[in-house]
A and B are shown apart, each in its own frame.
Chain A
Amino acid sequence: MTDLTNVEMEVVEKPRSQWRDVWDQFKTHKGAVAGLSFLIFITLFAAVGPFLWDVDPGRLDIRNKDVRPIYMGLFDSSAKVSWANPMGTDNLGRDIMANIMQGGRISLAVGWTAMVLAVVLGTTIGVLAGYFKRLDGLLMRFTDLVLALPLLPLLLVMMLLFRDPLRAAFGPETGIFLLIVAGIGITSWMQTARIVRGDVMALKEREFVLAARSIGTPARRMITRHLLPNVLSPIMVSATLGLATAIITESALSFLGLGFPSDFPTWGKILFDSVDRMTSFPERVIWPGLAISLTVLAVNYIGDGLRDALDPRIRGH
């Protein structure tokens, strides 16, 4: 009898990994799974692609300029197509597929890093302002201040001021990368900060926080144990939106000529370079545009699925 209960106990009390539950719930969200698959695909496409498709994205080949993508041959027998450039070439004869791969590397890296920076900054400021009453006025007025600044001129001034010193210190590419990421990161954390502050203030009055106070939980563990897990949903949503904004802001900067150097492709830059001749060569706009919007959409869906999966009230029951 005792043996039996012991065995039963062990079976029952075997701890079930929480992340296993999260994954099980995540899998039930079809959009999120599709989004994750696409994100993995596009990341591999950008990261591993250049090794397989060994074409220098910057190589000019004037004789083969304005090659149409390979599928154009199906509709239009007179179209200039070539298997050497399956997605066509641009007006200087650069291979579009190689450019999109290379551009994806930069755009994704800028997007993710800037988003992480913005979310970390916004969450920190929001939690501090919401939890500590003394800091609230100061931090939120600072947030208002940054929010009131016109962002594009600010970014332009930052680029002009810091571009050369950073280039000298880290090399042209890393320098400009750091500058763009920092610029986008520190100009897009304010929405997150406001949302997080509001949520933290509401949570702070809930009884479970009072219960933790009666136990004697100090402020830092109160924040990490009780507040942050409960503001995860809004943070997740602003993170997904943040990634989209970061990619688009980077495009806008490149378009203004203040982002990466002109021979350095990013999705936004390919897109803007092709706008002039969009009517004759729609594919040059469609491919990078599709890459940007599908990535943003995929991340949005993943955020949606993760938010559901991380909420124990939705998960599993």
Chain B
Amino acid sequence: MFDGPKPLVSVKDLKMHFPIYAGFFRRRVGEVKAVDGVSFDIVEGETLGLVGESGCGKSTCGRAVLRLYDITSGSISIDDREIGATPQSDLRTMRPTMQMVFQDPQASLNPRMTVEAIIKEPLDEHTALTEAEKREKVGELMDAVGLNRKFAKRYPHAFSGGQRQRIGIARALALNPKFIVCDEPIAALDVSIQAQVVNLLEDLQEKFGLTYLFISHDLSMVRHIATRVAVMYLGKVVELAPREALYRDPLHPYTKALLSAVPEPDPSLATAKERIILQGDVPSPSNPPNGCNFCTRCPSVMDICTKVEPDYREVQPGRYTACHLYNDTAG
């Protein structure tokens, strides 16, 4: 993979820990390790799908990559610029390159601003266009995401969920970014609208040469849109592989369990399909188990798993996983 084109986004050992304060003196008693050592590269023009169950740190990871949080440690480089430790005030000039589409289209739009004002905000902040030019640009963006220009003076509450998500996408596109983090952009939408929004995202990618980090828990949708897929469990990436390889032949036991949970539309296949049912719950991210994070629920757990944390390594060309099952063969 590294022999190919140069990565646009490169994340190394990203950690985002949130402190927990408790007791009368509000002392720091621990931390939630929401993202705990994540590394990946995203090549220009590709879509990296980031999947995992609720609470595994997908969204936090996406926000941390854009430095919406002050990260605990690690390095993030976007478009050849290292932003891991840059103070927030210096990030401003970098913001136009990287944008975000949010999960809840209702909550991500200010209810007191018109659609035009919402899409115009990035232009106000980062460009020196005149009012008329801005209005023209907003019109173009609304065309690009399939919104009628007539709606520019309306408020977000007057739109349906899918239309609101289009407004959010138009805002993200306003500054011609290279990299967009899509944080579960379809999770809050109807199935019929999901397809529209995903197709829109694909069209825009083709048209503007965008690079996506597509966060989702919908494995079928990720299979549709992503070129490579990373699977997260409890703050760590357990497996990263090209889409086809991952869906055809998952390596990590967690990926296998996750994929076996995808509903099968064909009833005859569905009854024949063997599901891997994991026992127990996800451990608390404030107190992860020793060794491998997945050792408490893994169907093929070994002694070593509870003692030594497996390395995240390339086990086949382009395929990375963190599991002791593959360490012997690879090493």
Contacts and interface: CB of A to CB of B under 8 A. Distances in A.
Interface of A: 9, 12-13, 15-16, 206-208, 210-218, 221, 225-226, 229-230, 232, 311-313, 317
A13 B108 contact: no
B92 A15 contact: no
A12 B95 contact: no
B90 to A, nearest CB: 11
Nearest to B94: A216
B interface residue count range (under 10 / 10 to 19 / 20 to 34 / 35 or more): 20 to 34
Interface stretch (B37-45, B150-158, B220-228, B275-283): B150-158
A218 B88 CA distance: 10
A227 to B, nearest CB: 10
B111 A211 contact: no
Contacts of A216: 91-92, 95-96, 125-126
Nearest to A229: B112
Interface in B92-134: 92, 95-96, 98-100, 102-104, 107-113, 121-122, 125-126
A208 B115 CA distance: 13
A217 B68 contact: no
6 contacts: A208-B108, A211-B108, A214-B100, A225-B113, A226-B110, A312-B157
A206 B102 CA distance: 11
Contacts of B121: 212, 215, 217, 225
Interface of B: 63, 66, 68, 91-92, 95-96, 98-100, 102-104, 107-113, 121-122, 125-126, 149-150, 152-153, 155, 157-158, 168, 171, 175
A173 B150 CA distance: 57
A207 B153 contact: no
Nearest to B122: A215
Contact of A207 (B103, B122, B126, B155): B103
A111 to B, nearest CB: 28
B290 to A, nearest CB: 34
A221 B95 CA distance: 16
Contact of A210 (B68, B113, B158): B68
B154 to A, nearest CB: 9
B66 to A, nearest CB: 6
